[in-house]
Each structure stands twice: as structure tokens, then as C-alpha cells.
Amino acid sequence: MTDTKDLAGRVVLVTGASRGLGYAAAKNAASRGAHVIAVARTVGGLEDLDDDIQALGSATTLVPMDLTDGEAIDRLGAAIFERWGQLDGLIGNAGALGVLSPLPHVAPKDFANVFAVNVEANYRLIRSLDLLLRQSDSGRAVFISSGAALSAKPYWGLYAASKAALDAMVKAYAGEMAITEVKANIFYPGQVRTAMRAKAMPGEDPKTLPSPDEVAPRIVDLVSPAYDRTGMRVDVLKGEEPL
């Protein structure tokens, strides 16, 4: 979509950056010149990412953190303000599948955890980082959702409901940002060779699926200053349409 260094000098935060799509998106953003703030629970995965990004000649800031800790997200926003004064891109990638189960059989703790990660954590990120995105000349936020939000197939009710809530929340936020330079969008990656996909579809041959590295550039395109649409659902299989 854009020049290969379209993110030069920009600061991009990626959640769920220790593996899968988040890892690949962080690497891609770094390869395009961004300083990446990499957030995840798994320290080892973050350290591997740091090695890969240094090999690209770029820099990263590692933030080992559980996104269900809302106060930690608030502290992260304050720390970004102190160091950079703004944030140019937010990739809200971290997600939880939960259990695939008849809805009446879903345990309350599983329900609460999936909504904590897929919905509440992203709300807390928006709450903490909104003013920082506004300080950028072209703040961009993209959140990774799923076609499950629309299909809501049997046994997928928990995950589908959480992603539908995320879509609705981002649609509202995009509308609120209409008179600013901030753009907020949703990305549907389709079927990707990730650990979450393997958990959901254990009998599937992963070699039939695209790798995270193949999909990640499409995600990172949405935090480039060149991408000026907002309130969109960008589906890797079906194209773009308004949320």
C-alpha cells in the first residue's frame, strides 16, 4: 500500500506481541521504521521479538503485562506520555478464544475472562491512549476481531459475543473521532496459522492456512498515515465495508 518506511519515526503499540499475529505485526511495523511498544504476558516471546526487531535495525520497548490489569494499562499510557508525548499507532491484537461450548454450559469465570481480554482490555486501552493518539498528526487504531462476530455459529457464542461487542465499541469510537485526525478500524484476519486457530480447529492441517507473516502487513497498513478511512471493517477475505 505504501512506501516500505512509511512508519519511520512513528511509535506503534502492539498487544499480544509475543506470538502469532501480534508478533508478526510488530516485526512488520518495525521493518517499516516504527519504534514498537510490544505488550504481552510472555516475557520469553517478547525477548525473541526484541532480537528479531534489533536484527531489522529497529528498536522496541518491551512491556510484560497482563491486559486484564486495567490500572497497569493506565500506567502504560502515562509512561508513553512521559517518554514520547504521543502515540501514532495502536494495534489491539491480544485476544482470548475461551471455550467452544453450548452457551448454557459456559462457566461464568470463562465468560468473564473472554470479555475481560477481548472487550474490557481494549476499552481500557482506548481510555488510556485516546489523548496520546490525538496528539499524533495521524493517530491510527486497529483492533483484531473475527468473522465470528457476524456468523455467531452454534458453540461459538462466547467468542462471537465478545467480538461483536468489540466491533460495536470501535464503531462508536470511530464516530466520536470523526472531527479529529484519529482513525479507528476493525480487522478480520480470516483463518490464520496461529495457536488460537489450532485450539479451535485441532483437526485442521495448519499448512493449508496463511502464516501470520503473510497477513500482518495488511494489519500494519491500517496504522500507516496513508490509511485515512475510519469506522471500517477490513476483512482479509471480503474487502472493506463500514462497520
Domains belonging to the chain, first-starting first, are 11-242 (3.40.50.720)
Whole-angstrom Cα distance, residue 139 to residue 124? Answer: 17
**Is this model's pTM higher than 0.85 or not?**
yes
In angstroms, the Cα distances linking 70 to 126, 145, 155, 159 are: 11, 20, 29, 21
pLDDT of residue 209: 63
pLDDT tens by residue, 36-80: 999 999 999 999 999 999 999 999 999 999 999 999 999 999 999
pLDDT band per the 50, 70, 90 thresholds, residue 152: very high
Catalytic (active-site) positions: 159
Answer yes or no: is pLDDT of 187 > 80: yes
Whole-angstrom Cα distance, residue 163 to residue 148? Answer: 7
pLDDT tens by residue, 195-242: 665 666 666 566 766 688 999 999 999 999 999 999 999 999 999 999
**Helix pair angle (121-135, 70-83), 10° resolution:** 10
Whole-angstrom Cα distance, residue 139 to residue 136? Answer: 5
DSSP state of 34: P
- Percentage of the chain exceeding pLDDT 70: 91
pLDDT band per the 50, 70, 90 thresholds, residue 125: very high
Start-to-end CA distance of the chain, whole Å, equals 22
DSSP reduced 3-state for 127: helix
- Percentage of the chain exceeding pLDDT 90: 89
Q: Rounded mean pLDDT of the chain?
A: 94
Residue 36 makes CB contacts below 8 A (sequence gap 6+) with: 12, 13, 14, 17, 26, 29, 30, 53, 58, 59, 60, 61
> Quick one: which H or E segment has residue 140?
strand 140-144
In this predicted model, which residue has the larger pLDDT, 33 or 196?
33
DSSP state of 139: -
